[in-house]
Structure 1
Amino acid sequence: MGTATGSVPSLPPVPHNARSHLRVPEGSGYSRRRVQLRGQERPITANRQTSWAFADAFVAEDDALRWARERARESGIPSVSPGTGAALRLLAATVDAKAVAEVGTGTGVSGIYLLQGMRPDGVLTTVDPEPARQQFAKQAFRGAGFAGNRARFIPGRALDVLPRLADGGYDLVFCDGDRLESLECLAEALRLLRPGGLVCFEGVFAQGRTVDSAAQPVEVLRLRELLRTVRESPELVASFLPVGDGLLTAVRRG
């Protein structure tokens, strides 16, 4: 990738000896050194790291979320941080979401947060290639008090399922799947979203690798392409939220 003009800004990775009594969100790319970002230099201090870590852990999780998170840990499945979940819940509530599509069911952690922010009659359509994970999510949703008709579970690859969903039928599309398919999922999301709808991508920091100038695997290069595409698209109003492992969010213009 390189550092040509217009490229995604390169930030230093998180130092292993960062001094904070709170854990900095893993892979966030924060550093205590000064960093250059689009022509503006600002210090990233230990206090700022602590503040970010506090914000990411600000929301208390209930029993259903803790159960789903524990199943994820046992199964070796990554799940969104509490801060990311709270952001998703807020975004779903902000657009008064009635229809949400999720790529990457996992064990239901992100799904619970999305359902909590959606309208009481809203339906979450969630896609995952592993049916066993979706069984965990079904149990988690029941434990969180959601009726069975609030979620539609579709097993399969995202790029096989998303093309079958209705054009303009969704208020929010959340992508937490295969990073190699990020750009294709973005194209599908833009088709699925109504004007004013939101698309969100989780894990865009890639544990600090996206902003690390060292050589990176193809999946990280794809994330950098995603960042550039979203930032430069005239169809989108974008923001990159530094919660969890990075939440890229954009509104589709009307």
Structure 2
Amino acid sequence: MVEIGTGTGVSGIHLLQGMRPDGVLTTVDIEPERLQFARQAFRTAGFAANRARFIPGHALDVLPRLTDGGYDLVFCDADRLEYLAYLAESLRLLRPGGLVCFAGVFAGGRTVGSGPQPTEVLKLRELLRAVRESEELMPALLPAGDGLLCAARR
């Protein structure tokens, strides 16, 4: 699995809990301090050090270096302005049947609002439209938290 946006490691812990015992999480974050927080959180949660790979850097610089078709899941919870670019990279990274997920796609309810919207909301709408119209993806929009968009690669 690949996680874009490590944060403090909360989502990474849940991803690791759902993986096979030999599965590895590759987590990418632009802030090295977040990677350290997550490393400690994973250790405290009882995960062996070899279960996660921590890569500091801008996701759009790191993702092209990852193996084509080598992943079952890509979880995106980082810069929403870059979600469309993450989608393109995810399609390359995922094997058939793999899943890409985007957190926070409701943007506090603003993606369905009718008034003038900030760039972030317009980009999220573009993402939703691109996933819906893609021949390569089978989408599901879940009303969990602030919205979770998941799509399986055909």
Corresponding residue for 2:71? 170
In structure 2, the residue corresponding to 1:105 is in which secondary structure?
A: coil
Q: What is the one-letter code of the residue matched to 1:222? A: K
Mapped partners of 1:221, 1:126: distance in 2 = 27
2-side partners of 1:170 and 1:106: how far apart? Answer: 21
Choose between structure 1 and 2: higher helix proportion: 2
Does structure 1 residue 135 correspond to structure 2 residue 36?
yes
Question: What amino acid is the match of 2:17?
Answer: Q
Greater gyration radius: 1
Q: Deviations over 1:44-95 (max 9, x none)?
A: xxxxxxxxxxxxxxxxxxxxxxxxxxxxxxxxxxxxxxxxxxxxxxxxxxxx
Aligned-partner residue type, residue 184 of structure 1: A
More strand by share: 2
Deviation at 1:150, TM superposition (A): 0.2
Which residue number in structure 2 is paired with residue 182 of structure 1? 83
Give the AA of the match of 2:25.
Answer: L
Query: Match of 2:120?
Result: 219
Distance 1:113 1:119 in 2: 12
Query: In the alignment, does 2:153 pair up with 1:252?
Result: yes
Please give the TM-score of this superposition, normalised by the length of structure 1. 0.60
- 1:14-25 correspondence runs (5 A): none
Runs of 5+ unmatched residues, structure 2: none
Matched residue of 1:208: which SS?
Answer: helix
Q: How many residues align?
A: 154
Say which SS state the counterpart of residue 210 (structure 1) adopts: helix
Letter paired with 1:181: E
Q: Secondary structure at the match of 1:213?
A: coil
1:122 aligns with 2:16: no
Question: Gaps (5+ residues) in structure 1?
Answer: 1-99
1:73 — aligned with what?
none
The C-alpha deviation readout for 1:198-254, integer Å capped at 9, x for no partner, is 00000000111111111111111000000000011010000000000100000000x
1:205 aligns with 2:126: no
- The alignment partner of 2:78 has SS state of coil
Identity among equivalent positions (%) equals: 79
Match of 1:192 in 2: 93
- Misfit runs of 4+, over 2 Å: none
Superposed CA RMSD? 0.5
User: What amino acid sits opposite 1:203 in the alignment?
Assistant: G
